[in-house]
Amino acid sequence: MKNFTRLFDIPYYQLEKYPQEDALAAKENNVWRKYSTAEVVKLINQTSLGLLKFGLKQGDTIAIIANNRPEWNIVDQAALQIGVIVVPIYPTISIEEFRFIFNDASVKVAFVSDKTLLDKVRSFKEDVPSLGKILTFDTIEGATNWDEIKKLGLNGPFDDVDKIKKNIDPKNVATIIYTSGTTGLPKGVMLSHNNIVSNIHSVMPVIPLNKDVRTLSFLPLCHIFERMVSYTYMATGCSIYYAQNMDTIGEDLKDVKPHFFTTVPRLLEKVYDKIMAKGEELTGIKKKLFYWAIDLGLEYDHKGKSPFYYAQLNIARKLVFSKWKEALGGEIKGICTGAAALQFRLEKIFNAAGIPVRQGYGLTETSPALCINRFDEINTKMGTVGMAVPDVTIKINPENGEILAKGDNIMMGYYNRPDATAEVIDADGWFHTGDVGELVDGKYLKITDRIKQLFKTSGGKYVAPQPIENKFVESTFIEQIMITGNDEKFVGALIVPSFEALKVYCKEKGIPNDSPETMIKQEAVKALYQSICDEYNPHFGKIEQVKRFKLLPKEWTIDGGELTPTLKVKRKKVLDKYAAEIAEIYNV
């Protein structure tokens, strides 16, 4: 096979070019279970035939609701090569959203990982006329295990599978991914094989992947970011190891010693906070050395530093930053981060530590990658999301600053929503991202805000909340923040403190700290957060400065309804939920 044009071609491409003994791996009973490329291909074909014997046909839809595991990939590829459309769904969404997606996509069969998800799907099964079987990856009493599908296809022959496979057009819809959205019902993004494959070909030359690379996967496969990257791993011959869960990532990193992984900024923020907490516990010369290295890291730039600076940095890397690399397994060669903005100081300090972190940018509707900072030090610029990937064109709408994109990676449209499709893809084929940005040096894209998040004060002045929020979360005392002020006289803020850091502060100052509720009521704590506002406000114009704030006692979560599954704040939800607290900000 010279190349691949459809997603299900990729496992065969790996088998021919870079067969691996550990193409996929996951822990079973605390031991890594490794699947060779040959075994993966065999299981894909078995499952394809089983799905056909199960009664599925080309154009039908299946849902996958599961944690990252080899079974996810196998069922995904098995469905794709017989023309069955895959609908991946976040396990954490509400029953109402599940019910809507299952009915909108007319899901025929659902694959779930565990009993909790099985019970969730069973709870609304009667409301979904199209839904036949629910199959589980875990062995659960009284449930049909996915082994039943594999058994149906165990002995072949695979003539029917091969016949369908040969006739699948790259332009056929491969998957429908429902965007979590911050408002309203989710929309189903239709992506063809060609949409995603074109993006894989665009990404392959710009990230450091090859047949000798081990990767760790922990971002949800139901999100297009990790899914496209996983296809890319397979196409470049990488081994994919799946983290057990988000709580075991530290252990899995040390165990797998990955060369590459993708992440969201929140994970890097937590790593940094833990490192800083340990640094604070040091004493004497060790503490001085630690903070010398931190200060040096905060001055880092890929370009333009003096030889004397790099001489110092090499010392810092040996004495201090080498321990940071060890915490990530010791062999990391690249990290790509997306879904939200990475704090500028963290981008500086991780790269200074010799841990190459690069920001990328894209949307579900763009399969997803539009831009990535390159992993060489010439074609990258910190504080931006990098240059457009090959075969993707980016331009800025001169009227409102909106980022527009064009390429083979742009979605087919929203499922059952031609009206919504027409709103975002214009007559010339440009996709309107809804993000506001600028091109730095004429080529590096910098995201400045979301068009829908811009608001106007009662004085008629527009405010972009995202840059303000991005700056304020640089404080070790701020976990989350949302800027307010629509139709109000001034800008305010809802602030969720970093209670771990705040508790340490309160203990040192002799301030009551038995609970978050107690801490945020203390005048000394309010004064601390006022001092943070005073420190960061001068970075913004007078109209954009935070005049008053309200401290909240509880972190925003997906389960609480304040965050989307990709950890974006649902602004409308937060505005509604904390209407009384916002009223207090402006009750002056």
pLDDT for 181 = 54
pLDDT for 459 = 77
pLDDT for 421 = 95
pLDDT for 67 = 92
pLDDT tens-place string over residues 178-209 = 986 545 678 999 999 999 999 999 999 999 99
295 by Cβ neighbours in 10 Å (0-12 / 13-18 / 19+) ranks as exposed
Least reliable range by pLDDT among 123-127, 384-388, 412-416, 475-479: 475-479
pLDDT tens-place string over residues 42-89 = 999 999 999 999 999 999 999 999 999 999 999 999 999 999 999 999
The string of DSSP letters for 362-422 reads E-GGGSSEEEE--SSSSS--TTS--EEPTTEEEEE-TTT-EEEEEETTS-SEETT-HHHHH
| Averaged pLDDT for residues 416-441 | 94
Task: Answer yes or no: are the C-beta atoms of 373 and 358 closer than 8 Å.
Answer: yes
Q: For residue 60, give the amino acid letter.
A: D
Structure tokens at 59: 């154009």
572 falls within a domain: yes
| Averaged pLDDT for residues 353-365 | 95
Residue keyed to tokens 């899995």: 252
Task: Answer yes or no: are the C-beta atoms of 570 and 563 closer than 8 Å.
Answer: yes
Q: Measured between alpha carbons, how far is 11 from 531 in angstroms, rounded to an integer?
A: 56
Band of residue 151 on the pLDDT scale cut at 50, 70, 90: very high
pLDDT tens-place string over residues 502-547 = 999 999 999 999 999 999 999 999 999 999 999 999 988 888 999 9
350 falls within a domain: no
pLDDT for 264 = 85
Band of residue 275 on the pLDDT scale cut at 50, 70, 90: confident
Least reliable range by pLDDT among 50-59, 160-169, 454-463: 454-463
Structure tokens at 294: 């931190």
Domain of 80, CATH number, reads 3.40.50.12780
332 falls within a domain: no
563 falls within a domain: yes
Q: Measured between alpha carbons, how far is 387 from 533 in angstroms, rounded to an integer?
A: 33
389 falls within a domain: no
Task: Answer yes or no: are the C-beta atoms of 404 and 430 closer than 8 Å.
Answer: yes
Hey, which residues does 242 pair with through a beta bridge? 217
Q: Kindly state the percentage of the chain with pLDDT values over 70.
A: 98
26 falls within a domain: yes
| Cis, bond preceding 368 (omega within 30 deg of 0) | yes
403 falls within a domain: no
Residue whose C-alpha is closest to residue 268's, from 289, 287, 253? 253
> Taking the CB of residue 499, how many other CB atoms lie within 10 A of it?
19
Domain carrying residue 109 = 9-168+218-245
pLDDT for 81 = 97
Band of residue 453 on the pLDDT scale cut at 50, 70, 90: confident
Q: Measured between alpha carbons, how far is 500 from 124 in angstroms, rounded to an integer?
A: 39
Q: Indicate the number of domains in the chain.
A: 2
Structure tokens at 85: 């459309």
Band of residue 30 on the pLDDT scale cut at 50, 70, 90: confident
How many distinct helices (H) and strands (E) make up the chain?
A: 22, 26
| Averaged pLDDT for residues 357-370 | 96
Q: Which residues of 296-325 are buried (b: 16+ CB within 10 A; e: fewer)?
A: bbeebebeeeeeeeeebbeebbeebbeebe
Each as own residue / partner, the long-range contacts of residues 93-99 (CB below 8 Å, 24 or more positions apart, any chain) are 93/180, 93/565, 94/561, 95/120, 95/123, 95/124, 97/178, 97/185, 97/186, 98/124, 99/124, 99/127, 99/128
Hey, which residues does 371 pair with through a beta bridge? 361, 388
Choose one of 194, 227, 245: the last residue of a domain.
Answer: 245
Rounded alpha-carbon distances, angstroms, from residue 72 to 78, 111, 438:
10, 9, 38
pLDDT tens-place string over residues 278-329 = 888 888 999 999 999 999 999 998 877 889 999 999 999 999 999 889 889 9
414 falls within a domain: no
Computed over every residue of the chain, the mean pLDDT equals 92
Choose one of 208, 227, 245: the last residue of a domain.
Answer: 245
Domain of 459, CATH number, reads 3.30.300.30
pLDDT for 357 = 95
The string of DSSP letters for 546-562 reads EEEEEE-SS---TTTTS
Output phi, psi for 496, to 5 deg.
Answer: -100, 110
Q: Measured between alpha carbons, how far is 199 from 478 in angstroms, rounded to an integer?
A: 36
Q: Kindly state the percentage of the chain with pLDDT values over 90.
A: 75
pLDDT tens-place string over residues 206-220 = 999 999 999 999 999
- Neighbour order of strands in the sheet with 491-497: 478-484, 491-497, 546-551
Q: Which of 85-94, 100-109, 475-484 has the highest mean pLDDT?
A: 100-109
